[in-house]
Amino acid sequence: MKSALHKVLHPVAGRPMLLHLLASAAELKPARQVVVAGAGRAQVEQAVAGTGAVIAVQGQQLGTGHAVAQAHDALAGFAGDVLILYGDVPLVRADTMRAMVERLNRGDEPRAVVLGFRPDDAAAYGRIIADGQGIIEKMVEYKDATEAERAVTLCNSGLMAVRSTDLFVLLDQIGNQNAAGEYYLPDIVMLPGGQSAVIETEAWEVAGVNSRVELAGVEAMWQARRRVEAMREGATLVAPETVFFAHDTVLGRDVVVEPNVVFGPGVSVADDVTIHAFSHLEGATVARGADVGPYARLRPGAQIGEKAKVGNFVEIKQASLGEGAKANHLSYIGDASVGAGANIGAGTITCNYDGFFKYRTEIGAGAFIGSNSALVAPASIGDGAIVAAGSVVTRPVEADALCLVRPEQVGKAGWAKRFRERMMAKKANG
């Protein structure tokens, strides 16, 4: 990846790849989750803190079989089924994991279940030769395969399910007599004295990431599927290919999302909302019937009330807009509460930061804030109050009061004409 960040922590849809995988596995309610990590494990430990997963350390990287063997102590006393997954293969669904475990416990009780797939281009993937019941007759690396074996389209993803009582016994039997001198996990499948089975999934689900190019490809696959899901659940995406979701984006029914909208993590949008073009939302809640954008930015802590309006080039952070409130143009509302039905004029700024601390602004229901106003927090604008355009508010404004903070206008008749004549004469005399 050519990165200081551990490979498995690079994000897909705003969530590290490893956490995608752990979240899917968690749906099976596993008794234990073990993450085997070598180089960069401090980053991995920090990332999985709070997930219930424990870290097993692989001091030397001696192959996939050797990596799995490092989980021995973490699984001591565990008698159950083990799923072996890869942190850089993030899209595996919980249903697929469940199917692997179910196949492991069928009547013929294979000692291992391998997850296979059929890519459009089998390329140099290892092949799986299996009978009509999915019993594996042979697994072979591409470089060792015959022409007939290379013609087989069923490929090995490397993901497996194995009973814990068998796993480490099998690992003890494999060697490292190969060009790389490594212990390969797939070697347990073909050991004598038992049989293994294969089940299949779609190729996208087992796509791995070893470069930023492949990371972008996995992101594209995830986004494409999420867009289809959103539309099937009742949202309209005007130009689906231009909309980007986070892993936890929630959209209600009859939501309309116009082109070039980006959802960062932590966004929930209720029914009947319109998100206009070129808007960016992150950590925000949008209530029913609200209207956002175009070119709006909702930052973490933004709460948009029912039928409220956030217009073009408006930024909201750690602030709420009450029901029917409007901020239509060119405003920043931060660390604030805007009451129901209030109107925020163009160019309004809540001055919430003094370089050291943040302060709040409270704007009451039905208040009207004139254009180009600066509300210096901590500020309080009462219900129904009017702040005249161009005001710099530094003291509380009572309910239903007018706040006017600007010099008295002075007009001097004919002054502009005399000024122009004087300047033109000066220029002519140059």
Claim to verify: residue 133 and residue 274 sit in the same structural domain: no
- Whether residues 127 and 41 fall in one domain: yes
Query: What are the E-state strand segments in 250-351?
Result: 250-251, 256-257, 262-263, 268-269, 274-275, 280-281, 285-286, 291-292, 297-298, 303-304, 309-312, 315-321, 326-329, 332-338, 343-344, 349-351
- Same domain for 244 and 281: yes
pLDDT, residue 383, reads: 98
Residue 180: pLDDT band (50, 70, 90) is confident
Domain span at residue 256 reads: 233-403
Evaluate whether residue 220 is within a structural domain.
no
**238, two tokens:** 């005007």
For residue 413, is it within any domain? no
Backbone angles phi, psi at 366, to 5 degrees: 70, 5
pLDDT at position 40 is 86
Is 159 a domain residue?
Answer: yes
pLDDT tens track for 311-328: 999 999 999 999 999 999
Are 237 and 191 found together in one domain?
no
Residues 202 and 237 in one domain: no
Domain shared by 129 and 241, yes or no: no
State yes or no: is 10 an active-site residue.
Answer: no
The verdict on 286 and 150 lying in the same domain is no
Residues 106 and 149 in one domain: yes
Q: What is the CATH number of the domain that holds 99?
A: 3.90.550.10
Mean pLDDT, range 291-312, rounded to an integer: 98
Residue 397 maps to a domain = yes
pLDDT at 406: 87
State the burial class of residue 108 (Cβ atoms within 10 Å of its Cβ: 0-12, 13-18, 19+). Answer: exposed
- Provide mean pLDDT across the span 114-140: 93
Q: Are both 103 and 252 inside the same structural domain?
A: no
- The angle at the Cα of 396, spanning 395 to 399, to the nearest 5 degrees, equals 150
pLDDT, averaged across the chain: 96
Q: Which of 191, 206, 221 is the last residue of a domain?
A: 206
What is the model's pLDDT at position 71?
96
Nearest 5°: CA angle at 383, between 381 and 389? Answer: 50
Residue 47 counted as domain residue: yes
With cut-offs at 50, 70 and 90, classify the pLDDT of residue 142. confident
Q: Are residues 255 and 183 in the same domain?
A: no
Residues 249 and 112 in one domain: no
Q: Average pLDDT in the 273-297 region?
A: 98
pLDDT tier for residue 179 given thresholds of 50, 70 and 90: confident
Q: Note the pLDDT tens digit of each residue in 357-412.
A: 999 999 999 999 999 999 999 999 999 999 999 999 999 999 999 999 988 889 99
* 89 lies in the same domain as 33: yes
In a domain, 422, yes or no: no
Is the pLDDT at 39 greater than 90? The verdict is: no
Residue in 247, 276, 280, 329 annotated catalytic:
329
| Whole-number Å distance between alpha carbons of 7 and 88 | 7
Number of domain units in the chain? 2
Model pTM above 0.95: no
What is the distance between the alpha carbons of residues 357 and 258, in angstroms, rounded to a whole number? 37
* Domain assignment of residue 194, yes or no: yes
The C-alpha atoms of residue 190 and residue 185 are separated, in whole angstroms, by 10
